Amino acid sequence: MIDIYKYIFEIPLYQKVELQSDDKISEIEEFINGSFKIDAYNPSLKENTTYQVSTVPKRKQFTQLGTYTDYYTHSIKCVRTGEEFRAYSFFNGDAGTLQKIGQFKSIADFHISQIKQYKSVLSKEKLKEFTRAIGLAANGVGIGSFVYLRRVFETLLEEAHQKAQKGEGWNEEDYANSRVSERIKLLESFLPSFLVENKELYGIMSKGVHNLEENECLAYYDTVKSGIEIILDEKVEELEKLEKIEKAKKQIAALNSKLK
């Protein structure tokens, strides 16, 4: 069965989805006639919500083009607000493929809203680059999206590098002559643990930029983006923890002064 969430919220326009069932007509009929509820992010609410997904009845001009070929429109409606957007698909029964040919709101609209939570740990410029990565992937540009994701990763390394330079015993020459994997090892006490444990993520992005095809980068995009997000989540959590500690220190100091 087609993964409804992935089809609507992750797969870019014009990427063909090959139906897996031996009876592809039955599979597409289930997709067309089914009514689904899925949980996903709502940019208006700025939080997750439940969407009701159903096929919009066809107008008369949208008649079947052939025995195994047709166009379909899906309504995706937030059950909390009633807000609706639509996805338009083309089914080629002879090839056994489904292709999303239009969507509003776009995939980028949903994902870009979510990454605004990282504005406390990413500069305005880097947040824009993360946004560009999402926008490019949503429009089927895999290699370009990897370029911008890699820039975000490199920024995190440089931030840790700037902190490490201030420590005693730091050898800048060794760092400058090291490969990225070795630099991560040198900076491990200044970096999020997930980044250190998954340092091969940088190599994957570099390989995508220099050696992989567009469709390969798109296939791996969600995994790479999730890795970047987990690293940023860890930085956000650490920042919130430090802010909480500082607040508690001030409150304890004030209370101690009051009770003396």
pTM of the predicted structure, to 2 decimals: 0.72
Structural tokens at position 254: 């004030």
User: What residues does each domain of the chain span?
Assistant: 4-105, 112-247
Q: Return the axis-axis angle of helices 214-259 and 200-210, rounded to nearest 10°.
A: 140
User: Could you tell me which of 161, 179, 159 has the C-alpha nearest to residue 232?
Assistant: 159
Residue-level pLDDT at 133: 93
State the Cα angle at 43 between 132 and 236, rounded to 5°. Answer: 65
Structural tokens at position 66: 């052939």
63-89 pLDDT, tens digit each: 444 456 788 899 999 999 999 999 999
168-187 pLDDT, tens digit each: 889 999 999 999 999 999 99
- CA–CA dist 206, 223 (Å, integer): 14
Asked if 130 contacts 115 with a C-beta cutoff of 8 angstroms, the reply is: yes
% of the chain exceeding 70 in pLDDT: 95
Highest mean pLDDT of the ranges 58-62, 93-97, 100-104: 100-104
Residue-level pLDDT at 245: 96
Structural tokens at position 163: 């902190």
